[in-house]
Structure 1
Amino acid sequence: MKYTAVSAFEAARRAREPESIPKNDLAASLAEAPYDGHLETGSNAEDVDEVVPSVATESNLPLSTWRPKGKNVLRDDDEVWEISMKPDETVTVIGEFDVTVLSGVVSVYGAMLHPNSVSQRVYALSTAALPVIMAKKATSLRIKSVTRSIESLGKYSPLFRNISVQDEKGRSFKYLASPRDDPLRRSLSSLEISDDTKRVISRINARLEANERPRILAVGAKSSGKSTFSRILCNVLVTRPGGQKVAYLDIDPGQPEFGTPGQLSVVEVGSPILGPPFCHPATTRSLSYRLIRSHNIAATSFKDEPDHFIICVMDLLRHVPKSLPLITNPCGWVSGTGASVLLQLIGQLRITDVVVLHPVETQLQNDIEAAKLNVHAVAKRPGGSSTKTPAELRSMQTMSYFHQKQKTATASDLVWLDKSISKMRPWMVSYDRIDSGIAAILSYNHAPHPEFLAEVLNGMVVAVTVPDDGLIDPDIVRRTPQESLPYMVSDLHGCSSPVDPRESNCIGVALIRGIDTENKRLLLLTPLHDAEIASLMQRQIVLVRGSFDCPEWAFLEDQYCATKAAARAVDTERNAGNMDEQPWVTLQEPVGIEGSIWRLRHPPTAADVMKSMT
């Protein structure tokens, strides 16, 4: 069957309006329009690996083998659901919830939970296959409703709409016997762990039992299940008896597990990973996912700077705790330059076990086997793909990062702020003096013309990099003619050298909300903790811009947040000529079938400037 891609706007129009009814203004109907699961965004060659059509289909395949039968439901109220399970029975629950084992043992996403385990927060969302709770012996289980924090972001972006659930009792979860039980009729599937995966993990686990410290790397193309395997393996190892922690080398800049796109990091994992990447960011304060060190290549691929990528990874390796087993999750680029870099890393990271998730090219398989390592093969798994495109997942991960707030050091205390990014308080950093907070602005790859640096920066995402003292040479820092922004000069080809990762580290990313040219300050939005920002007051930072995705989600949050009544009020103000222009977006007058629509304003690039001069 052939699927024809249409925009979310067009899908909403077709679903809601027969041809005989006059078209409503789009801005007024955004808040109530049904959403087809995808935003219309730019794409590139690396984003077309697999796009799953978002057409809801009913399935007779069961999601759970457990069925409610009177006495096996111990409690069922507005907050808590307690059940008893027989050995090998499975339960699939969608939503956000805390799971506690009262007696017995269960496995969920590879993690083994028992009565001595602390309560675990689970994010079983419709963006991916749902984790299955399986009883290993006779078990009593408690599932508790929580405040639906992550889905509150659906108010500001359709990407987060309808990814969770609210059951008939108002709880943040719902038991599913089959996909037919889903009130939203979504295409849902459960996460199945193959026999190949179980055998490989069992062999690696046996190495730990023998007091070895294996270093494991999973190799697989995009949509091969590489990240899922790494997550399952991490959960198995971190929930072993004795409370073993795991070092996780996260070096997939396109779909990182613990950070925003472009980030490479080493993380100490102390709790199981029970949700998609946008639900468990690593921070320096977290006890569950402690960020040890990170770098940012300011791009979703290392294709333009493979040497810099390798240097970053090798610096991260220096900070891996030697007492912990290491799991490395590389990117899914397994051909050409990607394969060459992968083979180089396997040797330099001193990997002991390589897990090959088929299919991969025969030559790559032969080269891996020639390295004389422990090579484990896992057959291609059917289904289990995300309902979001890679570009959409990156947007969700970045938006989630900027809205997050960690109340305490535990993973269950992570919440997402229920307000648009325009309402958040910015961090104001001076840039006018040599000893000011911002030492320089550095552009990876091609730099914009200095006259347009301010326009290019405004509203964009940058990596906040802290160099060692004395690393930035003042002689290579220039200032723009109008705003006096400090920037590092580029070579004759318009390219700049990256900051040396051995003498710097990235502490996070920020969005430039505005430039105060009168007081020579940048207004930065970042979820960094106040203590981290305070520690930077005595340091100089470098803001790195590059090939980050355009943060369109940030520009449109206020528009999506508007209710139907507010949208009509905006319409009235606009017609009366009293409406101020929104930041970063321009209102076009009604054209065609869609009517008026907010579109992004894009400043001219350096290439545009050069063309205008010729």
Structure 2
Amino acid sequence: MKVNKHAEVKHKSHKWKDAKGKRCRPPVSSSNVNSSPVVISMVKEHQESVRKKPSVKRLKNKVKSVSNCKYGWTTEDVRRGRLEGEALHHCAQRDDRQNRTVLVMQKDQTLCFRRKCLLTCLYGHVEVMGFTIEEGQQSYSLFSPAPHCPLSIRGLESIRALESRNEASHILQRYLSQASQKKLLKSITTNSSIILLEPIETPMTRFLSSFPDLSELFNLPMTELMSNIPKQNAHFGCFHENLTCFSLTGDIDGCPVILVCGTKNVGKSTFIRVLINTLLNYTASVEYLEGDLGQTEFTPAGCLSLLTVREPLLGPPFTHQQTPDHMIYYGQSSCDSYLDRYLECLKSLWCRRSQTREAPIIINTMGWVKGFRFQLLVHMIRFFPVSHVVQLSHSGFSHCPALTPDFLRTANGFQTHPLIESHSHPRMYSHISIQAEFQGVGSQGTAKHQRSNEQRDLSLLAYLSQLQYPDPGPVRPLHSLTPYQVPHTAIALGVTHGDMVPSHMFHASNGSLVGLCCLAEKAASKGGPVFLSQAPICPCVGFGVLRGIDMARGLYFLLTPVDPSVLREVNCLLFGAISVPSCVLTTQVRSCFMFFILFPCYEKCFQLLKSHFRPFYFKAMLL
């Protein structure tokens, strides 16, 4: 049942009543409830009440789920084993004044929810996506939007038992009124966990919600919510046991190199997120090498990156965008056209990895595992010193061969040949095969915002949300922001996904997303624009939108959230096949952005904006 500041009032209005109008509990079957002590006691109490009281009848109006649409977080009572209905009412109390809820959870009880909230563990510990949150730790932001599997909070057995009711009351008195404390104390046992749930709003959520098509991303209609949770939540349960076994058998001290592969829509990204969270329970950080261009985890699509993860991933990719330690802008969501460049980029990133190897590293791969893409996968396993290969599959797919060490010894790679010589020793690593069996496995979701291109747009919009002020306030449309102006002679312009006539370069790149890159050499100019004949493999420090081009004055106008101290190292703009989401150009509030994109060279347009532009010169110009 949903919980909000009106939950108590609404719940009472829909209580079951007997013939005389007195409230009593509805019939409950012990086969439909959790086996926790709290629920068992409720069942026994109910059975006795049925024997003593007259028969009951159902109200004409069905029980309505209560949602906190205004403040953005909800809980959902579905199926056995989860906090639901009457049980949730008895173990949750809300502070209306501070807009927060305190929840008591027993071991193995789960709370499945949508939208977003800030979770603080007040006592005991709970698990979210494989990560254990304990008392005394910081608060964590949880994001559970429509296109992805709903998050579940699971109660764990407390290490330290509550000594007395006074100790529990002391914990609760900071967050609840005395009346609410009394109600909640009844459901607390010695091994209970107590959590605090609060609403959360960030620049990212405000920016995304400002677009009409995304306004319901964290505020879903109940009909869609009810239809999605039972099906999608199976995604987690499918891998939970495998993840637990893997994390315990993995050689954490030996800093394993874990390559994860599998076909599309088999749960690979979810598996990796939960695996990272599980490893963070044992180590301070986990390294991550992104090899999937289409479904990137920490950056906009089209990037290959290497970064260190220190915080748990408690939401989909667009909710935890961050700047990698090293990144290369490939410029496409697939590597089919330039396989050699793709491999060179991965090798370049691996060479930049610290040789101390103080943390385990996870390597993500593309979702295509047939034909030459399978040979590419074989090549990657041979190149990287992997200690574990996790291969995900499902029964409805024509499986590729198991990537065991024995198979690798005779397989053809993209740039490698079988090791058939007698003196060659096969690569030794642990091969872990996981069969996914959740509903809908192998097929792309059809609900809103579930398609791959929509997921890529969300990640890019989340990146651009960094242009917003961190403090609460109205959303600033991108066309209202002041861009940097960069001389043509200070920076080179290149294309990642094909050849282009220099005279067409400006027309194609104007209004595009560009990678801000750092060439090893200064961009050579004879007084005009600098064009690269081919895309270089060079570091990328972030992204920007080429807002406009002034041919008369020889200036680029660029919007980017990258810090100016980092921008001074940039001397190259690369644009590829990753486009700015159409909603940025068409549906922003008072959007005049399209006007300046279409007519960037008209002097009259820039006369209107002259006072808004700020000069900024990159390092290349100052040399």
Supply the AA of the counterpart residue of 1:400: A
Distance 1:319 1:204, change over 3 A: farther
Task: Identify the residue that residue 295 of structure 1 maps to in structure 2.
Answer: 328
Aligned pairs for 1:36-115 (under 5 A) are 61=79, 64-67=82-85, 69=87, 71-77=90-96, 78-115=98-135
How much does 1:208 deviate? 4.8
How much does 1:150 deviate? 3.7
Task: Identify the residue that residue 15 of structure 2 maps to in structure 1.
Answer: none
Distance 1:236 1:184, change over 3 A: closer
Deviations 1:538-597 (A, max 9, x none): x45111122223542321133xx35xxx9xxxxxxxxxxxx99834479xxxxxxxxxxx
Task: Identify the residue that residue 349 of structure 1 maps to in structure 2.
Answer: 384
Unaligned runs of 5+ in 1: 1-57, 167-179, 284-290, 408-412, 490-495, 567-578, 587-614
Q: Does 1:554 align with 2:554?
A: no
Secondary structure at the residue paired with 1:332? coil
Secondary structure at the residue paired with 1:365? coil
- Structure 1 Cα separation of the partners of residues 341 and 379 of structure 2: 13
Q: Does 1:328 align with 2:363?
A: yes
Give the TM-score normalised by structure 1. Answer: 0.68
- Structure 2 Cα separation of the partners of residues 92 and 231 of structure 1: 18
Task: Identify the residue that residue 425 of structure 1 maps to in structure 2.
Answer: 482
How much does 1:80 deviate? 1.0
Task: Identify the residue that residue 563 of structure 2 maps to in structure 1.
Answer: 529
Task: Identify the residue that residue 135 of structure 1 maps to in structure 2.
Answer: 155
How much does 1:152 deviate? 2.8
Secondary structure at the residue paired with 1:527? coil
- Structure 2 Cα separation of the partners of residues 515 and 185 of structure 1: 49
- Structure 1 Cα separation of the partners of residues 376 and 471 of structure 2: 35
- The structure with the greater share of residues assigned to strand is 1
Task: Identify the residue that residue 315 of structure 2 maps to in structure 1.
Answer: 275
- Structure 1 Cα separation of the partners of residues 204 and 229 of structure 2: 19
- Structure 1 Cα separation of the partners of residues 197 and 153 of structure 2: 11
Secondary structure at the residue paired with 2:516? strand
How much does 1:188 deviate? 3.6
Task: Identify the residue that residue 187 of structure 1 maps to in structure 2.
Answer: 228
Secondary structure at the residue paired with 1:346? helix
- Structure 2 Cα separation of the partners of residues 331 and 416 of structure 1: 39
Deviations 1:5-30 (A, max 9, x none): xxxxxxxxxxxxxxxxxxxxxxxxxx
Task: Identify the residue that residue 502 of structure 2 maps to in structure 1.
Answer: 450
Secondary structure at the residue paired with 1:452? helix
CA contact (8 A) 2:404 2:431 kept: no
Secondary structure at the residue paired with 1:187? helix
CA contact (8 A) 1:91 1:132 kept: yes
CA contact (8 A) 1:101 1:142 kept: yes
**Percent identity over paired residues:** 21
- Structure 2 Cα separation of the partners of residues 405 and 305 of structure 1: 32
Task: Identify the residue that residue 603 of structure 2 maps to in structure 1.
Answer: none
Aligned pairs for 1:461-500 (under 5 A) are 461-469=513-521, 474=524, 484-489=528-533, 496=534, 498-499=535-536
- Structure 1 Cα separation of the partners of residues 338 and 593 of structure 2: 42
Distance 1:106 1:184, change over 3 A: closer
CA contact (8 A) 2:467 2:560 kept: no
Task: Identify the residue that residue 162 of structure 1 maps to in structure 2.
Answer: 216
Unaligned runs of 5+ in 2: 1-75, 158-191, 409-427, 600-623
Distance 1:144 1:581, change over 3 A: closer
Distance 1:390 1:81, change over 3 A: same
Distance 1:68 1:405, change over 3 A: farther
Aligned pairs for 1:225-236 (under 5 A) are 225-236=267-278
- Structure 1 Cα separation of the partners of residues 553 and 518 of structure 2: 23
Q: Pick one of 503, 519, 526 that aligns with 2:553.
A: 519
Task: Identify the residue that residue 55 of structure 1 maps to in structure 2.
Answer: none
Give the TM-score normalised by structure 2. Answer: 0.67
Task: Identify the residue that residue 541 of structure 1 maps to in structure 2.
Answer: 571
Supply the AA of the counterpart residue of 1:419: R
Secondary structure at the residue paired with 1:547? coil
How much does 1:348 deviate? 1.0
How much does 1:154 deviate? 4.6
Task: Identify the residue that residue 365 of structure 1 maps to in structure 2.
Answer: 402
Distance 1:244 1:448, change over 3 A: same
Task: Identify the residue that residue 512 of structure 2 maps to in structure 1.
Answer: 460
Q: How many residues align?
A: 458
- Structure 2 Cα separation of the partners of residues 318 and 63 of structure 1: 47
Task: Identify the residue that residue 200 of structure 1 maps to in structure 2.
Answer: 242
Q: Which has the higher Rg, Structure 1 or Structure 2?
A: 2
Supply the AA of the counterpart residue of 2:532: M
RMSD of aligned Cα (Å):
3.1
Deviations 1:234-281 (A, max 9, x none): 0101123xx521001112111100001111111100010011111111
Q: Pick one of 374, 381, 387 that aligns with 1:339.
A: 374
- Structure 2 Cα separation of the partners of residues 68 and 541 of structure 1: 62
- Structure 1 Cα separation of the partners of residues 327 and 487 of structure 2: 25
Supply the AA of the counterpart residue of 1:302: C
CA contact (8 A) 2:517 2:570 kept: no
Task: Identify the residue that residue 21 of structure 1 maps to in structure 2.
Answer: none
Q: Pick one of 336, 339, 342 that aligns with 1:306.
A: 339
Supply the AA of the counterpart residue of 1:348: F
Supply the AA of the counterpart residue of 2:257: R
How much does 1:68 deviate? 5.1
How much does 1:153 deviate? 3.2
- Structure 1 Cα separation of the partners of residues 435 and 313 of structure 2: 23
Answer 1 or 2: higher relative contact order, Cα 8 Å, separation at least 6: 1
CA contact (8 A) 2:548 2:597 kept: no
Secondary structure at the residue paired with 2:207? helix
Supply the AA of the counterpart residue of 2:511: G
How much does 1:224 deviate? 0.7
